[in-house]
Structure 1
Amino acid sequence: MTIAVTGATGNIGGAVARALAADGVPFRMLVRDPDRAPRLPGAEVAVATYGDAGASRAALDGVDLLLMVSGAEAEDRLAQHRAFVGAAATAGVRHVVYTSFVGAAADATFTLGRDHWATEEAIRATSMAHTFLRDSFYLDFVEDLVGEDGVIRGPAGDGAMAAVARADVARVATAVLRGPSAHLDRTYELTGPAAITLDQAAATVSAVRGTPVRYHRETVEEAYASRARWDPEPWQADAWVSTYTAIAEGALARVSDDVERVTGRRPLSLRDVLEQG
């Protein structure tokens, strides 16, 4: 079985590529820039972007099993995804493992969750088998939410999120690629070991880093206003703010045991991620 991995220059795809190489599993990396591709034993390099259907078809020629790491946030990301999915189907890929979002739905509060749902639907519409890894928000990003003044600001209210470590997502993806037949047409919700509020997240960052961090509850109007200084495009501002409103409504509070069931290892906590980082 020929395996292809996208996103090998990034965090999740890169971790999966390194794990496969360490196990002596041959695979193909699909990258945009070959100069940035990691040098790994047993790995081929093919060049393609999600939006270039012709290059993607050529890069996927002969591939049976594909890890499709969702593309970088962009206004046209869904169009890119659809082009790549179509190219994969045309190239003869038999099984796609896609990193989706735990709240994926046509009407998801987190606006980018709608793109993930539409990408899942595009994959379902083909003859390819699928495994959807519906990731919660990443624990690795929690510290990035802290402003220069030590404050996390957002309209998340008292909601909680069962955020997951990127390392755990990579471990699940690697396990699926190693034994794909056990995961055909399955959807996994990948979360951390507990749902935490932003007050709790701030307290954990404070304790581990030794600097005071707190959470300030904004209104939705205040959230848009406080982010206006970065002059985001409307779609980006909506995505930023809806990150918090999705937490507020409880859409991300459910804790799943899928990480442990697939990998045999308990998922990392926020403290674990901070202490390892």
Structure 2
Amino acid sequence: MTPTIAVTGSTGAVGGAVAALLADSGMAIRLLVRDIGRAPAIPESAVEQCSYDDADASIRTLRGVDVLFMVSGSESATRLDEHRTFVDAAAAAGVRHLVYTSFFGAAPDATFTLARDHFHTEQHIVASGIGHTFLRDNFYADVMEHFAGEDGVIRGPAGDGRVSLVARADVARVAATVLNDPASHVGKAYDLTGPEALTMAEVAATIAEVRGRDVTFHNETLDEAYASRAQWNAPDWQNDAWVSTYTAIASGELSRVSDDVERVTTRRAMTLSEVLRAG
């Protein structure tokens, strides 16, 4: 019998791409969205409304679901609690397999502060008893050009550290592959990276070459990094996340190149240059 698959995050880049890929393969899916009006038009799909922090609605919309694709929630001070609520709802609804978009190097002491939330979410999923697959994505290659300010400068304390950026399209292809044959991936964790590890100076140079405009990298000190972000009056946790994006790169924790994208999908992962040219 064909399993019932639910997809969260379909109004976003990764979840939307996963839903489209599943539809292309003929899978019937259930889209779980916070705003039904923003749900994409995906053939052979049903749309249900729920949010991660609403346990009752989540249980109701997850009943009858065999396999759940859970895109990590929007960054917030309460994201981990929302994840735990939704995972508990999935367990209560009888979901048998949960595929979660985690983070490369997720650990309780990860330099990138938000990677700690991913670690604790993983631990909660394991403790729930639901079969699981973790997709540990590195930073997305697709968003790197948006790190540059209006003056074309990417600023942050990344030093000469390297990062193995991954394309959102590759993450989506891995997820769709797993969801099409979930039994083959139970209990697995995949480190999803691109085929190269770049310094931020090399990232800037690649963006400049592809886009034909001046883009450079300025290596800030920690004090400079916090000072340059003070203009947005963000809460402390958000400033820590922004700055630790760069200190995590400087630490070397995000530099390893994995071949998991190619092993799962049989197709080589995209380079930053290829992502930019495709966008």
Query: In the alignment, what sits opposite 1:112?
Result: 114
Cα distance in 1 for residues equivalent to 2:230 and 2:93:
43
Cα distance, 1:63 vs. partner?
A: 0.5
1:128-277 matched pairs, under 5 angstroms: 128-277=130-279
One-letter amino acid of the counterpart of residue 11, structure 2: T
Paired AA for residue 158 in structure 1:
D
Take 1:205 and 1:33, find their aligned partners in 2: how far apart are those partners? 34
Residues of 2 paired with 1:133 and 1:169: CA distance? 8
Letter in 2 for 1:92: G
Q: For residue 223 of structure 1, report the CA deviation from its aligned partner.
A: 0.1
Q: Which runs of 4+ in 1 moved over 3 A?
A: none
Tell me how far apart the structure 2 counterparts of residues 106 and 90 of structure 1 sit (CA, whole Å): 27
Q: How far, CA to CA, are the matches of 2:212 and 2:41 in structure 1?
A: 37
> What residue is the counterpart of 2:66 in the other structure?
64
Task: Write the distance in 2 (CA, Å) between the matches of 1:138 and 1:88.
Answer: 27
Q: Where in structure 1 are there 5+ consecutive unaligned residues? A: none
Are 1:46 and 2:48 an aligned pair? Answer: yes
Write the letter of the residue equivalent to 2:42. L
In structure 2, how many angstroms separate the alpha carbons of the residues matched to 1:99 and 1:250? 22
Paired positions, count: 277
Offset at 1:264?
Answer: 0.7
Q: Residue 76 of structure 1: CA displacement?
A: 0.3
Question: How far did residue 24 of structure 1 move?
Answer: 1.3
Q: Deviations over 1:230-250 (max 9, x none)?
A: 111100000000000000000
SS in 1 for 2:128: coil
SS state at 2:195 partner:
coil
Over the matched positions of the two proteins, sequence identity in percent amounts to 61
Structure 1: how far apart are the matches of 2:84 and 2:247?
A: 27
Alpha-carbon separation, structure 1, partners of 2:22 and 2:205: 36
Letter in 2 for 1:19: L
CA displacement at 1:122 relative to structure 2: 0.4
Distance in structure 1 (CA, Å) of the matches to 2:265 and 2:67:
19
The Cα of 1:191 is off from its aligned counterpart by: 0.1
Per-residue deviation, 1:213 = 1.0
The Cα offsets for residues 157-183 of structure 1, whole Å up to 9 and x where unpaired, read as: 100000100000000000000011110
Q: Which structure 2 segments of 5+ residues have no match?
A: none
State the secondary structure of the residue aligned to 1:28.
strand
CA deviations on 1:32-84 (whole Å, 9 max, x unpaired) are 01111112211011110000010000000000100000001111000000000
Q: 2:17 aligned with 1:2, yes or no?
A: no
TM-score (norm. length: structure 2): 0.98
Over the aligned positions, Cα root-mean-square deviation in angstroms equals 0.6
Residue-by-residue CA offset, 1:87-142 (whole Å, 9 max, x unaligned): 00000000000000002001111000000000000000011111000000000111
TM-score (norm 1): 0.99
**Hey, what's the Cα distance between the residues in 2 that align with 1:202 and 1:8?**
30
